[in-house]
Structure 1
Amino acid sequence: MTSEDFVPAALRRLWRMSEPSRLGRRPALDIDQVVTTAVDIADRDGLAGVTLPKVAQVLGFTGMSLYRHVGSKDELLALMADFALGPPPERPATDDWREGLRAWAFAQRAVFQRRPWLTHVPTSGPPAGPHRIAWMEAALAVLAGTGLDWAHKVGVLSLIGGYVAQATRQEHELTQGREEGQGQADAEHAWAMALARLVTPDRFPETANLFASTMFAAPPPGADVAVDADFALGLDLILDGVAARIARPTAPPGRVV
């Protein structure tokens, strides 16, 4: 018995560990065909458009045929997510952890922007697929010289990864909710002007001051606020917190700082 015998079937499929054919010949359908077809459907119709019967129909097989290659719909989603994420970009040539994490976050955001459905895939556990592990390795390498312990490194990755997914999902949903051809700046200005009539200083003093500020002033014709700036602001706030934690002295054994 080898170490591979202890790998669960779902992980074997996720890592494409070879499975010998019981009939001694190449099967007519393989897991890569199933996954790439499902990803194509998600790219076109969104995650809600992906069902096992629909994937089977596109491939010209019965739904039961897919269960020989994918154990369940949840497993298919995990396979799709890892495949669609793809490998991370090469690490920037810098020893600056902040610049490295910033590049990591923007690179992941770019993937989510191309495939918004990825942000809706349910999280069923920690990273398990080869591409997700590769992204984790890339970020851990950036943090290697920070002095953070493993718990804090994992916490940083989880926090930034969650922020990237949530911010990109919100950006996509807001874009879908706008009127056709309306930019972000115009939409925010119209929203602020409408609410300014309802948000009175006696009831909501700080919010009223916000709407009265120049933040939501009418943009000049053809101008728009870069969405990247909003994303970068939130990311920088998180990185400021990471920097503060790195700068804190290491606690002696038995003491929590």
Structure 2
Amino acid sequence: MTDEPVPTDLGRLWRLPDRARLGRPAELDVERVVRAAVDLADRDGIGAVTLTEVASTLGFTKMALYRHVGSKNELFELMSDLALGSAPEISSEPGQWRTGLRRWAHALRQVLLAHPWLAQLPISGPPRGPHSIGWLDAALRALAATELDWATKVGIVMLVDTHVRQSSLLTQQLADARQGTGLEEADVNQNYGAALARLVDPGTFPQAAALFASPLFQSPPDDPADGDFVLGLELILDGVAAEVGGQA
């Protein structure tokens, strides 16, 4: 271990006290700024979140925010960690890795659906904040009783995390596209299948024509996005099972 100081942005993520300002009461702090930004994103989307707008919401100037948040990118990282919240409790008992990863994935999906802007944020690096580290630890806990090496465990967590985020982002984008139409996703899929069934020539595109004529589009499920998410997750977990060596 070294005595090198913690970088300022990392210290803010972990809410370390600023020794230069100890004893000086402040009207504004990192927590208040980030919570205001999260509330703004939840209400108006991530595009509405600027340092100027957050400052205005709090009744301060943009320059006042720079004492607590160094940049817009840093604000996004702070927002992401706060919105993630606490990770679910995951068992590390032998043979329970699949149940644990499944629970972790579904819990993360619920967070992303509650905060749609989270999946839209760019990934600028590995997890660094206390909540993101907590989610990483929970996923690794699910794999703790396996004999996988660290690189494989991290790769599995990244794969599951990517699936959850991409699935959530697709769900949001499709929902945005339906805004104002009054249609549910099942209705859109049914209309899509009916239109393409009339256009696609079985002689030219035999498999696509059979698909559009199938019950999948004639009677689509009420929540196809959820079904697609579960199917993708279970296929990933099947692959993990092969890597683990058949552990259930």
Q: Output the TM-score relative to the length of structure 2.
A: 0.92
C-alpha displacement of 1:225? 3.8
C-alpha displacement of 1:172? 1.4
SS at match of 1:6: coil
CA distance in 2, matches of 1:207, 1:168: 26
C-alpha displacement of 1:25? 1.7
What is aligned with 1:164?
Answer: 164
CA distance in 1, matches of 2:118, 2:229: 18
Query: Structure 2 vs 1, CA of residues 139 and 200 (structure 1 numbering), >3 Å: closer, same or farther?
Result: same
What is aligned with 1:196?
Answer: 197
SS at match of 1:41: helix
CA distance in 1, matches of 2:85, 2:223: 30
CA distance in 2, matches of 1:69, 1:4: 24
C-alpha displacement of 1:208? 1.2
SS at match of 2:19: coil
CA distance in 1, matches of 2:33, 2:2: 27
The answer to whether the 8 Å contact 1:21/1:27 transfers is no
The answer to whether the 8 Å contact 2:41/2:48 transfers is yes
What is aligned with 1:134?
Answer: 134
CA distance in 1, matches of 2:213, 2:93: 42
Pairwise CA RMSD of aligned residues?
1.9
SS at match of 1:123: coil
Query: Structure 2 vs 1, CA of residues 65 and 232 (structure 1 numbering), >3 Å: closer, same or farther?
Result: same
> Which amino acid counterpart does residue 124 of structure 2 have in structure 1?
S
Runs of 5+ in structure 2 lacking a partner?
none
> Which amino acid counterpart does residue 217 of structure 1 have in structure 2?
Q
> Which amino acid counterpart does residue 70 of structure 1 have in structure 2?
V
CA distance in 1, matches of 2:3, 2:163: 35
Query: Structure 2 vs 1, CA of residues 36 and 58 (structure 1 numbering), >3 Å: closer, same or farther?
Result: same
Q: What's the CA shift string for 1:90-111, capped at 9, x where partnerless?
A: 2258641111100000000000
Matched residues, percent identical?
52
Alignment of structure 1 residues 65-80 onto 2, 5 Å: 65-80=64-79
C-alpha displacement of 1:44? 0.3
Query: Structure 2 vs 1, CA of residues 94 and 150 (structure 1 numbering), >3 Å: closer, same or farther?
Result: closer
Q: What's the CA shift string for 1:148-173, capped at 9, x where partnerless?
A: 11111011011110110010111111
What is aligned with 2:52?
Answer: 53
CA distance in 1, matches of 2:171, 2:34: 27
C-alpha displacement of 1:22? 3.9
Q: What's the CA shift string for 1:57-78, capped at 9, x where partnerless?
A: 1111111111111110000000
C-alpha displacement of 1:197? 2.2
The answer to whether the 8 Å contact 2:36/2:58 transfers is yes
CA distance in 1, matches of 2:8, 2:20: 15
C-alpha displacement of 1:229? 2.2
Q: What is the aligned residue count?
A: 244
Q: What's the CA shift string for 1:116-136, capped at 9, x where partnerless?
A: 100011111000000000000
> Which amino acid counterpart does residue 7 of structure 1 have in structure 2?
V
What is aligned with 1:125?
Answer: 125
C-alpha displacement of 1:187? 1.4
SS at match of 2:146: coil
What is aligned with 1:210?
Answer: 211
Alignment of structure 1 residues 216-227 onto 2, 5 Å: 216-218=217-219, 224-225=222-223, 227=225
Q: Output the TM-score relative to the length of structure 1.
A: 0.89
